Structure 1
């Protein structure tokens, strides 16, 4: 297995575990905390995606000018 495949599998496993966890026994406070954590993670991913998009656009613009 290639290192990239292993990393992809770990990422997929973590996301799958989070999505398949039984939350029926969680209290309202625990659910609120989990929702806040998920929202924070979504915001972090969106910020990284925005950075990567800007970075790619900058690189493409640089190489087009040459």
Structure 2
């Protein structure tokens, strides 16, 4: 850790996205960032769903023997 790390301004954390919120006042950049964050969340959710499906299939296979 550098002695000057405190001097570097930190990017503020983005506000959490709320589905259905009013987005009419967001800038184009904010909207693009929102879309990217939502895509990342969709990908994360799909991966979790796939993992659960794999686990379910393995359990079904095991208990059907």
* TM-score, length of structure 1 as denominator length: 0.69
The runs of at least 4 consecutive aligned structure 1 residues that moved more than 6 Å come to: none
TM-score by length of 2: 0.70
> Which of structures 1 and 2 has the larger relative contact order (alpha carbons within 8 angstroms, sep 6+)?
2
Which has the larger share of helix?
1
| Higher CA-based Rg | 2
Q: CA RMSD in A?
A: 1.3
Give unmatched runs, 5+ long, in structure 1: 1-16
**Which 5+ residue runs of structure 2 have no aligned equivalent?**
1-16
